Amino acid sequence: MLKNNLKIDNRLSLIGLVTSQPKQTKSPSGITHCRFLLEHRSEQNEAGLSRQAWCKMPIQLSGNQFTQTIQSITVGKKLLVVGFISSHKTANGLSQLVLHAENIEFLD
């Protein structure tokens, strides 16, 4: 915990390319949700050696504050997504980490 009760215990920022068309749904309570995949590729330094890093992460946007943003998200767009991660169960019962976006920045 930091000053002003700012919590930093679950924070992730990820830059990548959108690889799936955003899919919108609405919860029974009327909350808009949008989900898409973000693919990250980079070269990282680990233990003094260069290593290729790669992941494909599901991104979820929830709430009306993203209504305009969702319209601009298309396959191939480069984004910076900042938010928190949480585990979701897939349809076949497997656990999957999902990045719940709190802020999105278009980089191209």
Number of domains in the chain: 1
Residue 1 maps to a domain: no
**Contacts of range 5-8, beta carbons closer than 8 Å, 24 or more positions apart:** none
pLDDT band at 66 (very low <50, low <70, confident <90, very high): confident
In a domain, 61, yes or no: yes
Whether 31 maps to a domain, the answer reads yes
> Is residue 6 in a domain?
no
pLDDT at 84 over 80: yes
In-domain check, residue 2: no
Q: Cα 10–15–20 angle (5° rounding)?
A: 105
Q: What is the pLDDT of residues 47-60, one digit of tens each?
A: 999 999 999 999 99
The whole-number pLDDT of residue 108 equals: 81
Which residues form the domain of 51? 12-107
- pLDDT at res. 2: 55
pLDDT value of position 5: 66
Question: Any idea what the CATH number is for the domain that residue 69 is in?
Answer: 2.40.50.140
Residue 46 lies in a domain: yes
Q: Is residue 3 part of a domain?
A: no
